[in-house]
Amino acid sequence: MSNPILYGFTKKDLENTIELVVKRLRKTELVNQTVIHSEEDRLTQKEAAKFLGKSEQCLIQWKKKNLIPFYQIGSSVFYSKRELLDTARNSPGLIKPSYK
């Protein structure tokens, strides 16, 4: 059985319809993929410095140079533990162990 309605559409009409459907699906995917980090993942500047074994001043310098990811809400600065670990893995020269 054929559907006579489809015979009224041009190839361009079908392409536009499919493109519209795909765009709507992508928007839905983006909304559903939004990840809200848990409280355990959020670190204060002091906690992040301790976590990395560096001083807070060192973190402030890295932040100013955009070497590490951070979030700022008002005057409060936060770091994601997961993102700091990814940065350390991808930039091994940045975070060197200090020997005492």
Query: What's the whole-number mean pLDDT along residues 88-95?
Result: 78
Answer left, alpha or beta for residue 74, where phi above 0 means left and psi between -120 and 50 means alpha: left
Confidence of residue 5 (pLDDT cuts 50, 70, 90): low
Neighbours of 37 (CB within 10 A): 13
Q: Write the pLDDT tens digit of every residue in 59-73.
A: 999 999 999 999 988
The answer to whether the CB of 69 falls within 8 A of the CB of 83 is yes
DSSP letter for 69, please.
-
Amino acid 34: pLDDT: 42
Amino acid 56: pLDDT: 94
Sequence-ordered alpha helix ranges (H) in 7-44? 11-33
Q: Write the pLDDT tens digit of every residue in 7-53.
A: 667 888 888 888 887 777 666 554 445 444 566 788 999 999 998 88
Answer left, alpha or beta for residue 71, where phi above 0 means left and psi between -120 and 50 means alpha: beta
